[in-house]
Amino acid sequence: MKIYIKYDINVACRTILQEQLEKLGIHFDMNESGEIQVLEVISLEDNIQLQANLKRYGIDILSDQKSQLIQRIKNVIMDMIGREKLPASKISLYLAEKMNMNYSYISTLFSEYTHSSIENYIILQKIEKAKKLLLQELSLTEISYILNYSSVAHLSGQFKKTTGLSPSVFKKIIDGRKRKIYTT
């Protein structure tokens, strides 16, 4: 028998982090974008144990500042995309404000370390969200509004360019898989 699951990776990671920190008795605060502020000095032994516990789940503690900054940028973008409606302001202004940094610095650093632009990363995240929204039976018009696309055609074009499928073909494939699962 097969079991099919649906999960939210952000919720899963937050839960794992929270459980592991609490297990070691480490006092912390976690903000919306997943950043953790440890409220006390962690012993070397606890630090090693925490890293080992998290490694089992594929989670690494970032030690260098640039890697931390890249992850913060990604977290802010994923938080932004995860909202019910994307902010109406320009994304560059939004990121600069949220990060409290100059956008050109953020953009250059991101491209240097990820070999991709922030804009491309945002498009990939928006298309992933569009896939989820399609599965929730939202129309392309509703999805393009939620994701701040200028038109349905623009969303459809980016969707096809990114996935190789039009949104309607993607939906048909998923619906076909669902029917197959429920009839077997």
Q: What are the structural domains of the chain? A: 9-55 (no CATH), 65-183 (1.10.10.60)
pLDDT at residue 177 is higher than 80: no
| The residue to which tokens 């929730």 are assigned | 136
What is the pLDDT averaged over residues 29-42?
81
At residue 181, the pLDDT reads 61
**Nearest partner of 98 among 80, 125, 113, judged by Cα:** 80
**Max Cα separation, the chain?**
56
Cα 18 from Cα 43, distance rounded (Å): 18
pTM (2 d.p.): 0.71
| The residue to which tokens 């509703």 are assigned | 142
For 125-143, b where at least 16 C-beta lie within 10 A, e where not — what string? bbbebbbebbeeeeebeeb
What is the pLDDT averaged over residues 96-113?
93
Q: At 143, is the pLDDT very low, low, confident or very high (cuts 50, 70, 90)?
A: very high
Cα 18 from Cα 158, distance rounded (Å): 36
